[in-house]
Amino acid sequence: MPSPLVEALGPNADIEIGSTILGLPISLWIALAIISLYGLSRSGPNAAKLRRIPGPWLYAATGFRLAFDAWQARSVHAILNLHRRYGPVVRIGPNEVSFNSLSALRAIYGAGSGFERTDFYRMFDVYGRPNLFTFGSGKLHRDRKKLLSHIYANQTVLGPEFSRLVQEKVDGFLALVEREPEHASEIFGSLHYFSLDAISEFVYGPEHGGTRALSGSKQSRDLIQDILNPARRRLAWFAVHFPAYTKWITTRTGLLERVLTSLGLIPMRKPFTYTGIRQHALTAFHSFKNAPPVVRAGAAENTVIGRLFKVQEAASLTDMDIASECADHLLAGIDTTADSLMFMIWALSLPQHEEYQEKLRAEVLRSPIDHKGLPIPKELTHLPYLNAVVRESLRLYSPLPTFEPRSSPVDTVIDGYEVPAGTIVGMSPFCLHRDEDVFPSPSSFRPERWLTSSGTLITESDQQNRYFWAFSSGARMCIGMHLANAEMFTLIAALYRKYRTSARHPDTSPGITSRFEVFSDQTMPKMVEHECWIDFVKLKEGS
């Protein structure tokens, strides 16, 4: 007879009953369940309104049900299944509703919507200070964004200075393929070197925090170890669902820490996620701060940190405000770009997608190059097939595919349902990009879906473009979008001008960690997290 826990969680729970459940002591699961069940939905006018929203009773009754999906690294997958069963509006918690429609996208995330970020994002504060990503207040976010919008503008990124930075890092990646072919072939790691070197120099400059992972610096490469540990998912899960417990248990030291660790009650062994990268960011901050005034002034227009120091007094920024902001930009620019490039190259390297790689190569070989033989970032924005490949990859393998929570201080109506003030609402690129009415065969990698019959890009007003949400939208749209595109376009174009790629394990999808989720290509029979092997074959001249 199945246990009550298995019955409550459903037939797909996939748990093992014994001394532990999914790696945690049963006693801890019982304690967490009791804490969560204490938050059962209450009666009252708000509860009555939310009861009208479709969804399974257990999700509506307790947040523990969705938390369990998240523990299995599949909460967004579960939400997609609920949308397919119940429609574009579904209740996923006692006070949480997921939407999956264009009208809801405008209502929640559009300009002037009144919805703001929840306290969920405070887990991404750095050095105890909020930043552009974690501000709940729309005004605070706007004020901070104004300070940095110019340096991230498309015109600035595609200008000569930052184009040169991107080209240098692309050249460094190609050199790595030549110099360390086997090391470069594991592209989850080698592409993280590329993205780390690019964003660190963009944020701090080459002398005060710019890394040298591509050229072989062990110190720089070791920073990536912060990202590799899958246990970071467990720590993120605890931080979201049991923040007080997480804060207490992760600050224990000495004998108590050793006892808790031996009992399996600490989500992740020290050092915790991003410890090394955040320390590097703090060292870079102090290095720049202590640089001569003339050096700081010279970096005001070509680094994030230089810009923030220039406006520090006028914008009333503390040192830790600047340190937090810069560290967040550094962290945000590593995983996202590297993971996107990894899936892009992997998809193009599958035997069933050989025709896509050939079409892409034919196009990029016709594109202008500079005196070093490198593609010119600005010119690449006009290539339709390259754009289609990048957009299709971002649709299918969004680097941040998870649920983006928001709340409103006033009652609202979304898609015909009353949403009480304070209700957590949200959407996810993962679900939006898999709407079968908008994207036929949504699990298939098909770059042509972004092209007209004549081979040009579909118009911006096309329904598919309106549903494309890889970089979010509205005021909270990713500030680094243009830099990420420049990096991806240039590396892909340069790589396929010189190499033919093939997947070493064509039946295995790479998997990435995003918060407490794992994302991969679910059409593949196998998945390996944080690993992807690609073989590079150099093309003959003129081929």
Bind-site residues: 478
Q: Do 394 and 357 touch, CB atoms closer than 8 A? A: no
CA angle 375/219/538 to nearest 5° reads: 35
What's the one-letter identity of residue 320? M
Which of 156, 173, 172 is CA-nearest to residue 483?
156
- The first and second tokens of residue 397, run together, are 């393998």
Element (H, E) at 346: helix 319-349
Cα 320 to Cα 310: distance, rounded to the nearest angstrom: 15
Residue with tokens 């339709």, as numbered in its chain = 384
Annotated binding site for heme: 478
483 by Cβ neighbours in 10 Å (0-12 / 13-18 / 19+) ranks as: buried
- Listing DSSP states for 34-85 in one string gives HHHHTTPPPPSHHHHHHHTS---HHHHH-THHHHHHHHTT-HHHHHHHHHHH
For CA atoms 534, 522, 7, 34, give the dihedral sign. positive
Own/partner pairs, 310-319, CB within 8 angstroms, 24+ separation: 311/147, 315/143, 315/147, 318/129, 319/285, 319/289
Q: CB within 8 A of 89, min separation 6: which ones?
A: 53, 54, 97, 98, 99, 100, 101, 104, 414, 415, 417
Cα 236 to Cα 267: distance, rounded to the nearest angstrom: 9
Residue with tokens 């060292």, as numbered in its chain = 283
The number of C-alpha atoms within 13 Å of 112 and in the hemisphere containing its C-beta is 0
Q: Do 80 and 431 touch, CB atoms closer than 8 A? A: yes
Cα 408 to Cα 419: distance, rounded to the nearest angstrom: 9
Own/partner pairs, 383-388, CB within 8 angstroms, 24+ separation: 383/489, 383/493, 384/451, 384/455, 384/456, 384/457, 385/359, 385/360, 385/447, 385/451, 385/455, 386/360, 386/489, 386/492, 386/493, 387/450, 387/457, 388/447, 388/448, 388/449, 388/450, 388/451, 388/457
Which of 415, 397, 411 is CA-nearest to residue 100?
415
HEC per residue, 161-228: HHHHHHHHHHHHHHHHHHHCHHHHHEHHHHHHHHHHHHHHHHHHCCCCCCCCCCCCCHHHHHCCHHHH
